[in-house]
A = this chain, B = another copy of it.
Amino acid sequence: MHKSINIPDSDLPRIVVIGGGFAGLTFCQKINTKYYQVVLLDRHNFHTFQPLLYQVATAGLEPSSISGPLRKLFKNKSNFYFRVGAVEKIEPENNLVRTSLGKLSYDYLVVANGAKTNYFGHEENYEGAFPLKQTAQALSLRNSTLRCFEDALLVSDSTEKQALLNFVVVGGGPTGVEVSGAFSELKNNVLPKDYPELDFSKMKVYLIEGSNRLLNGMSNKSHEDAIKALKEMGVEVLLETRVNSYKNELATLSNGTEIPTKTLVWAAGVTGNLINGLEPFAAAPANRVKVDRYNLIEGTQNIYALGDIALMATENHPKGHPQLAPVAIQQAELLARNLMHIGTNKKPTPFKYTDKGSMATIGRNKAVVDLPGNVHFKGIFAWFVWMFVHLMSIIGFRNRVVILFNWIWNYFTYDRSIRLILKASK
């Protein structure tokens, strides 16, 4: 089948946006298409609300609840075109993007394709590890986790059985804390009812972090509360420890310990999804591209980068901003506004990050919240705040209702209802 990207010509300048994550989505929502033709490219036909991916991976939510079909989100927007495809190369000298669907010229390019899992630069040392950045990966982790318990019924060798019952989470950031907490809730509340034949005291959840604290970027109190809560829930937290390799279902730690495990979740770092042709501008560490205060990529005239892939050094953030959704969203909103001033006398506004606080959930009734001004709180109130903020941030009224219902259901029944081992047949 011969495919072509097939965007109609227009008198308006064309903005091509790569990536429908928080940054790309917000930018497309805010940009005024009276003055620009906008083309959004993404490999998937839906936006993923990544902060709740771990709940898909642990059978608490369905993928559709944390996804928004991109076409639906833009169905009333004129001069807007969406295509499902992968970007193969950018040719800045020709103002051209080469994609799996053909080539596409642009007047302005917005690179918002985020970050991907980074195995300390050595993916080959971690074969079979589970990343957790995409919905398809969350489904794989769900399927594999459930299969571990089915298989644990079938094996008699004790090492094999222990490998099925050991769950190792690498990286003590919010994702690592949330995943290990969720695994421990499966152990404590959900799975023993399903598998009366298994001895769940043998199920172990490890959280392994290289630095000396959890939740880097949050307050020290949050670190302390998180570590205490996780330990109460039975998670073995190992600080100042790295996983040197993971091969043949054996994780080897920097302290020499070996943990046989079928499930190693990698949440220990990301690297920019660098596209061919952007290398000259990727002077920043971890494949990020350096941008100025207007998110313009340094060394280019008309290529912007937003969100996780952009590194904007400021007085407050000399090493760039944290790779978080609020940064991406605020940058996207500002760029959409600033692009309206091109060709006018009005000067563009430089970016200034408004930190509204950060939070992480650990489990049932357990969360930590830091607000600006050294305000910290934890426990059930923090947990409600976490739920409220996430519920309000997710796209679509339908999703909010479905997630809220699932959360209430899961809370009162101590259940996780999506316990299906299921993959589309082709």
A residues whose Cβ falls under 8 Å from a Cβ of B? 1-6, 44-46, 62-64, 67, 69, 71-72, 75, 81, 83-84, 101, 134-137, 139-140, 142-144, 146-147, 150-151, 153-157, 160, 193-197, 396, 398, 401-402, 405, 409, 415, 417-426
Question: Which chain B residues border A154 with CB–CB below 8 Å?
Answer: 3-6, 83, 101
Question: Which chain B residues border A62 with CB–CB below 8 Å?
Answer: 62-64
Which of A5, A46, A139, A426 counts the most B-chain CB atoms under 10 A from its CB? Answer: A426
Question: Which chain B residues border A137 with CB–CB below 8 Å?
Answer: 425
| Complex A-B, nearest 4 residue pairs according to Cβ-Cβ distance, in ascending order | A139-B424, A136-B425, A71-B194, A3-B154
Question: Which chain B residues border A415 with CB–CB below 8 Å?
Answer: 72, 398
Residue of B nearest to A71 (CB): B194
Question: Which chain B residues border A81 with CB–CB below 8 Å?
Answer: 197
The reply to whether A155 and B421 contact each other, CB–CB distance below 8 Å, is: no
The contact of A151 among B1, B46, B143, B420, by CB within 8 Å, is: B1
Sample of 13 A–B contacts (CB below 8 Å): A3-B151, A45-B419, A45-B420, A63-B420, A72-B193, A72-B194, A81-B197, A83-B153, A136-B424, A139-B422, A396-B417, A402-B402, A423-B424
The contact of A150 among B45, B157, B421, by CB within 8 Å, is: B45
Question: Which chain B residues border A147 with CB–CB below 8 Å?
Answer: 84
**Complex Cα–Cα for A142 and B75 (A):** 20
**Complex Cα–Cα for A64 and B63 (A):** 10
Question: Which chain B residues border A144 with CB–CB below 8 Å?
Answer: 426
The contact of A6 among B3, B72, B156, by CB within 8 Å, is: B156
The contact of A143 among B63, B194, B419, B424, by CB within 8 Å, is: B424
The reply to whether A63 and B150 contact each other, CB–CB distance below 8 Å, is: no
The reply to whether B1 and A155 contact each other, CB–CB distance below 8 Å, is: yes
The reply to whether B424 and A424 contact each other, CB–CB distance below 8 Å, is: yes
**Complex Cα–Cα for A423 and B136 (A):** 6
The reply to whether A398 and B409 contact each other, CB–CB distance below 8 Å, is: yes
The contact of A398 among B150, B417, B420, by CB within 8 Å, is: B417
The reply to whether B419 and A69 contact each other, CB–CB distance below 8 Å, is: yes
Which of A160, A409, A424 counts the most B-chain CB atoms under 10 A from its CB? Answer: A424
**Complex Cα–Cα for A194 and B396 (A):** 16
- Shortest distance in angstroms between A42's beta carbon and chain B's nearest beta carbon? 11
- Shortest distance in angstroms between A149's beta carbon and chain B's nearest beta carbon? 9
The contact of A426 among B69, B135, B140, by CB within 8 Å, is: B140
Question: Which chain B residues border A142 with CB–CB below 8 Å?
Answer: 424
**Complex Cα–Cα for A425 and B134 (A):** 9
**Complex Cα–Cα for A157 and B2 (A):** 8
